A = this chain, B = another copy of it.
Amino acid sequence: MSDQKPLEGLGTCPLPLRVHRTVQMAHGGGGRAMRDLIERVFRSAFSSGTSVPHDSAIVDVEAGRLAFTTDSFVVSPLFFPGGDIGKLAVFGTVNDLAMAGARPVCLSAGFILEEGFSLERLQQVVDSMREAADEARVSIVTGDTKVVDHGKGDGLYINTAGIGVVPAGLDVSPSRVRPGDAVLVSGDIGRHGIAVLSVREGLAFETSIQSDCAPLAGLVARLIDAGVEIHCLRDLTRGGLASALGEIALDGGVGIEVEERAIPVEAPVVAACEILGLDPHYVANEGRLVAFVAPADGQHALEVIRSHHRAAGAARIGQVVSAHRGVVHLRLSLGGERVLDLLSGEQMPRIC
């Protein structure tokens, strides 16, 4: 689509709609305009093209335990180095499923469009979602579109929900974390938050910092297939590494000790954090996880993680302890230690 011609595929649409380049209230009204938008933008990207539109998608599953999760995405701006809201919306939900040890199967996608939002931008996001879904090997099988008045949204919000299948006998949960467990991180931290902030604040860093946003289900499958005794997994999103560890310490009722020098942070992220006055341990990620594995499996798990093309920079960063339950201690590179507490509020809003 170029800026100069009508949205492709609207050829049979009533004339007044052909000339629209932006979202109209009519696109959410349940009539022909909405049907056209769904058919031509969403269904052409997401569906196999064989099914009849219906209120629900039908999914065949084996008996067993399903993982089910949801996330809304309100990131600002919608496009940033290394990703966009569409990629986030697919990978974020895929990753939440993977954190329960589940193999992601299918996603739903709910769009809240602001009147006046560019249909070309919408098409870009939808295309990005399709690519992301292909990469993560999930199908987007059902969806919904709503339109809100200009000034009652911010271009585009997306909700995705997802279903995954949990392998028999697998139980991955904070309640399984035990003192002695090795704590691994799957790569360097802080890139997503800095990438988004750099666009939002108009900052230009010497090196362009790309978001780490990526699917984690393949990595998790590799750990499961390798027979690693996984106790808990958590993807690092809002609140970063520190918040993920803090939550698991609280929910698992354990203490956690991590080494500052062992935590991988790229030099440009460190530099950007210094300029912005941010602690990288709290900066958001969208393609990193922490894994809590049985003590004897720590080294093996690290090798398995590092064998994944997106996780060569993985590191063992600490261990679970029976002391200071509910609290995370960070041993500082320069000696001494400090508590990595949950932040009271937000470090940076609308990061995902």
Question: Is residue A109 contacting chain B, with contact meaning CB distance below 8 A?
Answer: yes
**Distance, CA A175 to CA B286, complexed state (A):** 41
Q: Is the CB of B60 within 8 A of A235?
A: no
Q: Is the CB of B96 within 8 A of A68?
A: no
Q: Is the CB of A173 within 8 A of B52?
A: yes
Question: Is residue A166 contacting chain B, with contact meaning CB distance below 8 A?
Answer: yes
Q: Given A35-B247, A108-B70, A110-B159, are A55 and B349 also a contact pair (CB < 8 Å)?
A: no
CB-defined contacts of A30 to chain B, threshold 8 Å: 237-240, 243, 284, 343, 346
**Overall SS of chain A's interface:** mixed
CB contacts under 8 Å to B, within A250-305, are 251-252, 284
Query: Which residue of A27, A65, A67, A166 has the most chain B CB atoms within 10 A of its CB atom?
Result: A67
**Distance, CA A35 to CA B247, complexed state (A):** 9
Q: Is the CB of A57 within 8 A of B68?
A: yes
Q: Is the CB of A58 within 8 A of B66?
A: yes
How far, in Å, is A300 (CB) from chain B's closest CB? 24
**Distance, CA A59 to CA B102, complexed state (A):** 12
How far, in Å, is A64 (CB) from chain B's closest CB? 7
Question: Is residue A71 contacting chain B, with contact meaning CB distance below 8 A?
Answer: yes
Q: Is the CB of A74 within 8 A of B163?
A: no
Question: Is residue A63 contacting chain B, with contact meaning CB distance below 8 A?
Answer: yes
Contact partner, A345, options B25, B72, B154, Cβ 8 Å: B25
Contact partner, A52, options B161, B174, B349, Cβ 8 Å: B174
Q: Is the CB of B67 within 8 A of A57?
A: yes
**Distance, CA A54 to CA B244, complexed state (A):** 11
How far, in Å, is A68 (CB) from chain B's closest CB? 5
Q: Is the CB of B108 within 8 A of A68?
A: yes
Question: Is residue A53 contacting chain B, with contact meaning CB distance below 8 A?
Answer: yes
Q: Can you list 18 A-B pairs with a CB-CB distance of less than 8 A?
A: A27-B345, A29-B343, A30-B237, A30-B346, A31-B347, A32-B345, A53-B247, A54-B174, A56-B162, A58-B65, A61-B65, A63-B64, A70-B108, A72-B111, A72-B146, A74-B112, A112-B157, A153-B154
